[in-house]
């Protein structure tokens, strides 16, 4: 009768280390903005939220919004509004109350839809819609360089 050979102690330790170091499913990390989570940010009064924003965004709200900015702010701030809000106002800072809403922002040619995420708090709407396009150049043609003058024509 053949004896069943068990693995050595060293092999079992190596196996347990390998199992421990295997990639496990990562837990979704909770979003924090300056030490506060989203529920706390939404429950805060407007003045306390302003203190957490970067200085440029804070100054925009402290000086007061113009008429067009105020219209967009009211639509975004309303809880019952569902759907896409179209706007040309790229200079409106994002607040925690806007998270989860979809905004179509004009880039000079068309409206680009953007869903507001928690990481966007404190930034302006226009930062997430590019209004310039990279130029796509083709290769140089005949006559573009001095050496191409002397290429035989086919």
84: in domain: yes
Q: What is the pTM of this model?
A: 0.69
The closest alpha carbon to 66, from 99, 49, 98, 91, belongs to 91
Give the range of the structural domain holding residue 86, as residue numbers without chain letter.
38-128
Residue 1 has pLDDT above 60, yes or no: no
Residue 18 has pLDDT above 90, yes or no: no
- The total number of structural domains in the chain stands at 1
Q: What percent of the chain has pLDDT over 90?
A: 54
105: in domain: yes
Determine the pLDDT at residue 94: 94
150: in domain: no
Determine the pLDDT at residue 43: 92
Per-residue pLDDT tens over the stretch 67-116? 999 999 999 988 777 889 999 999 999 999 999 999 999 999 999 999 99
Per-residue pLDDT tens over the stretch 123-135? 999 999 998 888 8
104: in domain: yes
119: in domain: yes
144 vs 131: CA distance, rounded Å: 30
153: in domain: no
Residue 58 has pLDDT above 80, yes or no: yes
109: in domain: yes
Distance between alpha carbon 10 and the CA centroid of its chain, in Å? 48
The closest alpha carbon to 43, from 120, 97, 116, 81, belongs to 97
């Amino acid at each position: 009768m053949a004896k069943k050979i068990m693995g050595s102690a060293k092999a079992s330790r190596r196996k347990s280390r390998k199992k421990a170091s295997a990639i496990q499913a990562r837990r979704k990390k909770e979003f924090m903005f300056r030490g506060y989570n989203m529920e706390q940010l939404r429950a805060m009064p407007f003045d306390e939220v302003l203190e957490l924003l970067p200085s440029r965004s804070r100054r925009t709200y402290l000086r007061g919004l113009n008429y067009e900015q105020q219209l967009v702010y009211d639509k975004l701030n309303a809880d019952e509004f569902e759907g896409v809000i179209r706007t040309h106002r790229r200079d409106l800072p994002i607040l925690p109350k806007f998270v989860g809403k979809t905004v179509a922002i004009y880039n000079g040619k068309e409206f680009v839809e953007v869903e507001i995420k928690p990481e966007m708090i404190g930034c302006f709407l226009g930062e997430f819609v590019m209004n310039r396009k990279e130029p796509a150049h083709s290769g140089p043609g005949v006559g573009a360089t001095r050496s191409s003058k002397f290429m035989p024509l086919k």
